[in-house]
Amino acid sequence: MALLSLEEAKAQINSKSDVDDVELLAYIDSVTAVIEEFIGPVEPREVTEQHDAGYGRRVLVLRTMPVLSLTSVTPVLAGGISYPVDGLTVDGASGEVRRQNGGTFRGLLDVAVQAGRPAVTPTINLSARMLVQHLWRTQRPSRGGGLAGGGDDYSASTPIPGFGFAVPNRVLELLQPYRLPPGVA
């Protein structure tokens, strides 16, 4: 699953030529990391995090969200307790992992999950297309001779914290409903 296809990106920048396909594919690949920095994984992937439950913790809170499924919870150190996933619940949106019997987790644990989203929503796809278009336009001469991006609706008069000038406000506004909670990265 990709945020957008080559055909979608070409339609967004109004290109019918194959001349720039290799370069455009690099743009498509690069926007995934930028968008996922803001909203978490979109394309499903296996992620393993280490959590220290100490002498007992009722909830493990994952740092990677959203979560599609829990794969395993295993001890890092020999002799530790392993927790079968059929006895656990995971809240995909909040990243909270709990034991169904109400018990606690103990020790240093590796928690493996399938993170991402079941599908790319139209809004996330549009955000990716608009970001590719923005980045493409800043590298291509406009009809007036200068660089596109200056003085039009893609300009950024002030940098966006954590994103600089590379991501236009309109993209971040579209992604706002999917934004990660504060402190999650």
Same domain, 94 and 49: yes
The total of structural domains in the chain comes to 2
Same domain, 82 and 142: no
Domain hosting residue 16, numbered range = 6-41+119-178
Do 65 and 93 contact (CB within 8 A), yes or no? yes
In one letter, which amino acid is 28? I
Residue 185 lies in a domain: no
pLDDT < 70 stretches in the chain: 1, 141-165, 183-185
Do 102 and 91 contact (CB within 8 A), yes or no? no
pLDDT of residue 166: 81
Distance CA 30, CA 18 (A): 19
Do 34 and 124 contact (CB within 8 A), yes or no? no
pLDDT of residue 143: 52
pLDDT of residue 49: 97
Same domain, 34 and 72: no
pLDDT of residue 146: 45
Q: Ramachandran region of residue 62, left (φ > 0), alpha (ψ -120 to 50) or beta?
A: beta
Largest CA distance in the chain: 69
Q: Which of 167, 169, 163 is nearest to 134 (CA)?
A: 167
pLDDT of residue 149: 46
Q: Which of 55, 43, 49, 63 is nearest to 81 (CA)?
A: 55
Q: Which of 119, 84, 131 is nearest to 103 (CA)?
A: 84
Same domain, 173 and 125: yes
Same domain, 75 and 100: yes
Same domain, 58 and 21: no
Residue 25 lies in a domain: yes
Do 123 and 35 contact (CB within 8 A), yes or no? no
pLDDT of residue 163: 56
Mark which of 61, 82, 115 sits at the end of a domain. 115
Q: Which of 143, 90, 134 is nearest to 113 (CA)?
A: 90
Do 149 and 29 contact (CB within 8 A), yes or no? no
pLDDT of residue 180: 84
In one letter, which amino acid is 48? T
Six token digits for residue 22: 């290799």
Do 125 and 7 contact (CB within 8 A), yes or no? no
pLDDT of residue 139: 74
Distance CA 170, CA 173 (A): 5
- What lies within 8 Å, CB to CB, of 61 at 6+ separation is 94, 95, 96, 97
